[in-house]
Amino acid sequence: MRKIFYILFSICLLTACSSDDPITDDGGNNGTINPNAELIFNEPLLLFGKSKQEVKASETRDLVEGAEASFKEVKGNLQYVINYMFTNDKLTEITVVIENQPTDRYSETVTSLSKKYTKDKNKDMFYADSYYIYPVASVDKTSWIYMPK
């Protein structure tokens, strides 16, 4: 009986911890971000407080031509541009700009963030454990500004 319980528990645990969730709503790569995906929420937040050289050394994306601390990545028809801002050679702010993001997805994304993080009562600002998230929508892109607490 214990073996059966252990096997069932292990299967449930493995199923619950699976990271096979698709990035898009339909499971394809149509360029529409599923706001529940972890893509822009987890990285590159571990870099706060690091020097410019440390950030550049750890970055795997392509450096934006003519930029010193901006990197880009293309996924489907979306282009991500990650801008690192430094104060006294320490990383203090990260802005992730998603080009070609449909602006009608903004409210859906804010709703999703509201389920995951504590939302400010007066504006679209969210509190994570060690940082703040400010989503900003414009005509043809969405920006995510990350700042440490």
* Full DSSP string of 16-58: HT-----SSTTSS-SSPPPTTSSHHHHTTGGGTT--HHHHHHH
Strands 141-148 and 131-137: antiparallel
Find tokens 């541009």 and name the residue.
81
DSSP state of 124: S
Q: What is the pLDDT of residue 88?
A: 94
Query: Which residues, in sequence order, are CB contacts of 139 under 8 Å at separation 6+?
Result: 103
**Structural domain count of the chain:** 1
Over 70: is that where the pLDDT of 4 sits?
Answer: no
Place 43 in a pLDDT band, splitting at 50, 70 and 90.
low
**Torsion angles phi and psi, residue 135, rounded to 5:** -80, 140
* Domain assignment of residue 39, given as a range: 2-148
Q: What is the pLDDT of residue 51?
A: 93
Over 80: is that where the pLDDT of 10 sits?
Answer: no
Q: What mean pLDDT do residues 126-133 have?
A: 79
Predicted TM-score of the model (pTM): 0.63
> How big, in percent rounded to 5, are the helix, strand and coil portions of the chain?
30, 30, 40
Q: Show the tokens assigned to 80.
A: 């991500």
H or E element at residue 114: helix 106-116
Give CA separation, 57 vs 50, 51, 61, 69, 91, in Å: 11, 10, 11, 11, 13
